Amino acid sequence: MSIKEEVIVQAKLAKKASLVMANISTEKKNNALYMIADGLEKRRKEIIEINQLDLEIAEKKGASRAFLDRLSLNNRRIDSMAAGLRELSELSDPIGDILEMEKQPNGLQIGKMRVPLGVIGIIYEARPNVTVDAAALCLKSGNPVILRGGSNAINSNKILAKIIKENIVKAGLPVGATQLIQTTDRKAVKVLLELSQYLDLLIPRGGSELINRVVNEAKVPVIQTGVGNCHIFVDESGDLNKAKDIIINAKTSHPAVCNAAESLLIHQNVAEKFIPIIVDGLSEYDVEVRGDKNAVKYDERIEEAEESDWGREYLDYIISLKIVQNVQEAVDHINKYGTMHSEAIVTESYTNSQEFLNNVDAAAVYVNASTRFTDGSQFGLGAEIGISTQKIHARGPMGLNELTTIKYVVYGHGQIRE
């Protein structure tokens, strides 16, 4: 069977499953989530051993420390995935909710009901935990999913998908509810992008190259997620101790994720005092700082930045630094080079905070807080399928509600239209 035929078989199974999943009871879905969580915990040793194969291959290829961190599965991450599944089971099921119900003058009662989006394809890179997170969210929201992970995590993805599939079948869900494309051949992605007769939505999660390819080539509707050139602007009124803590957290707590800070903007009036302080702090974590010509004058440890640095999502222990004259220049820089993900200002000025909030174009805008909070669980959504950086249908962390659409339900008692 060719790659195209294999993917189409999976798509047909998913389409068939969508008719069943739309009406699966909440109890059955929650039971499946608990069973998957138990399965991950029982087979943690096997998961870690298989993940080690992917790590060894990546290390031989010269993968960066941040990349290896994204790829790694350990006891803590398995515990986190299992806990996330159980937490998701406790969340309210959106399917079947009636959002509005209004009586019209002709007696018709017209309402909106939440329903699943349908078959979702998710294309992602070297983060095997996405296999579990995405499958779980789609399961709870009644959407069959076809997963296509990165080649660097293929062995890890296979074992996770196997555990998921075994347990959803035991729980009485259709076999096509969660499927993983087993091949690493890129031809499979091309096939997936064109299956508009079977897929209702594609969600790419990864770097700009992946997302741009999906957006440009897909014949299926796409929600863009993930690319995060996130900025932190230290205003002249900002508390510098607070700024240091926020920047260190946003850059170093998990540099390989999309809500990590990649760019630092500093008001010229505090640059001379603050730049040595923040470079000291970042140096403790071996973070390379690339600054503009003015920033380089304040600290010899700063490498001079190139134009390409301002728009980079490093996903590594690197950060760019630019000195700006005022809030407006910071806003203009962010709106030019940002990816509409998460942006922050450190300030004690209400006026400056409001100017920043009102004029920065991003899914999440912070005042005196780390960009690392842009996350479904941190926002009280329980979980998320990704961070949408577009403006249609969903923006920001995409939780269960964002994986639904609506259909109108209309109750009458014999009305006819004249």
378 domain residue, yes or no: no
Supply the CATH number for residue 295's domain. Answer: 3.40.309.10
| β-pair type (396-397, 387-388) | antiparallel
Q: How many angstroms separate the most distant Cα atoms in the chain?
A: 81
Q: Are 118 and 165 in contact (CB under 8 A)?
A: no
417 domain residue, yes or no: no
Residue 200 shares a structural domain with residue 290: no
Residue 126 shares a structural domain with residue 268: no
Q: How many folded domains does the chain comprise?
A: 2
| Cβ partners under 8 Å of residue 413, min gap 6 | 107
Residue 136 shares a structural domain with residue 94: yes
257 domain residue, yes or no: yes
At residue 409, what are phi and psi to the nearest 5 degrees?
-115, 130
287 domain residue, yes or no: yes
State the pLDDT at residue 377: 83
Q: Are 237 and 287 in contact (CB under 8 A)?
A: no
State the pLDDT at residue 381: 82
Distance, in Å, from the CA atom of 258 to the CA atom of 388, rounded to the nearest integer, reads 11
Distance, in Å, from the CA atom of 305 to the CA atom of 298, rounded to the nearest integer, reads 14
Residue 140 shares a structural domain with residue 154: yes
User: Taking the complete model, does pTM exceed 0.75, yes or no?
Assistant: yes
Residue 211 shares a structural domain with residue 87: yes
367 domain residue, yes or no: yes
Residue 359 shares a structural domain with residue 404: no
379 domain residue, yes or no: no
Residue 294 shares a structural domain with residue 214: no
332 domain residue, yes or no: yes
| Residue 328 CA from chain centroid, whole number | 29
Residue 252 shares a structural domain with residue 342: yes
Q: 315 is in which domain, residue-wise?
A: 230-373
Residue 216 shares a structural domain with residue 254: no
Residue 31 shares a structural domain with residue 130: yes
Distance, in Å, from the CA atom of 174 to the CA atom of 131, rounded to the nearest integer, reads 18
Q: Are 232 and 265 in contact (CB under 8 A)?
A: yes
256 domain residue, yes or no: yes
State the pLDDT at residue 306: 96
State the pLDDT at residue 224: 85
Supply the CATH number for residue 137's domain. Answer: 3.40.605.10
How would you label 297-334 residue by residue, b for 16+ Cβ within 10 Å and e otherwise? Answer: ebbeebeebeeebbebbbbbbbbbbbbbeebebbbebb
State the pLDDT at residue 370: 98
State the pLDDT at residue 67: 87
Residue 193 shares a structural domain with residue 254: no
Residue 203 shares a structural domain with residue 246: no
Give the pLDDT of the chain (418 residues) as one tens digit per residue: 899 999 999 999 999 999 999 999 999 999 999 999 999 999 999 999 999 999 999 999 999 888 898 899 999 999 999 999 999 999 999 999 999 899 999 999 999 999 999 999 999 987 899 999 999 999 999 999 999 999 999 999 999 999 999 999 999 999 999 999 999 999 999 999 999 999 999 999 887 888 889 999 999 999 988 788 999 999 999 999 999 999 999 999 989 889 999 999 999 999 999 999 999 999 999 999 999 999 999 999 999 999 999 999 998 999 999 999 999 999 999 999 999 999 999 999 999 999 999 999 999 999 999 999 999 889 988 778 889 998 888 899 999 999 999 999 999 999 999 8
Q: Dihedral angle at the C-alpha atoms of 294, 299, 303, 305, nearest 10 degrees? A: -20
